[in-house]
Amino acid sequence: MNIPEQLSCLFTAEVQAQDDSYAIEIPKNEIETGYVNLDHNYRVAVLTSSTESDDTVEPSPDTSQDSPQPPVTEGETRTVEIEDIGDQGDGITRVERGFVIIVADTEKGEQVRIKIDTVQENVAFATVVERLSYFD
């Protein structure tokens, strides 16, 4: 499946009945991190959560079969805010298209300058170059 460059965030949600319509709840974290702004209009794509392989999803006729490249490269430095802590205790931040970067030895809310060490198709790993500040 081809994911467009304009993808701001990606999350799982249930469709909920509301009077004469239905709604999808956007996680608070998406608003807090700025990936979704309350004063903007968005296009919403609904993908099934079936257990079938992604191979059964038909790509749009005007899109390429190639997967988009990660928005970071090895050796690149960036300034980021650690948004969450993962199951292994490492910091997690997201950049363009919601791409995840895992940063060891960081705390939630910490702003750091990082160096990208390893880039995989859907995640990158980085180390802290400089600690800038904490947000509460």
User: Using one digit for the tens of pLDDT, what is the confidence trace for 11-54?
Assistant: 677 788 888 888 888 877 777 777 777 887 777 777 665 544 44
Position 3 pLDDT exceeds 70 = no
Q: Looking at residue 64, what is its pLDDT?
A: 46
Model confidence pTM above 0.85: no
The rounded distance, in Å, linking the Cα atoms of 85 and 18 is: 33
Q: Looking at residue 60, what is its pLDDT?
A: 45
The rounded distance, in Å, linking the Cα atoms of 32 and 78 is: 20
Q: Looking at residue 67, what is its pLDDT?
A: 63
Q: Percent of the chain having pLDDT more than 90?
A: 38
Position 124 pLDDT exceeds 80 = yes
* DSSP character at residue 105: S
Model confidence pLDDT, tens digit, residues 50-90: 544 444 444 444 444 456 789 999 999 999 999 999 888 99
Model confidence pLDDT, tens digit, residues 90-123: 999 999 888 999 999 999 999 999 999 999 988 9
Per the CATH hierarchy, to which homologous superfamily does domain 77-134 belong?
Nucleic acid-binding proteins (2.40.50.140)
Each domain of the chain, given as residue ranges in start order, spans 1-62, 77-134
Beta-carbon neighbour count of residue 117 at 10 Å? Answer: 15
Integer-rounded Cα Rg, in Å, for the chain is 17
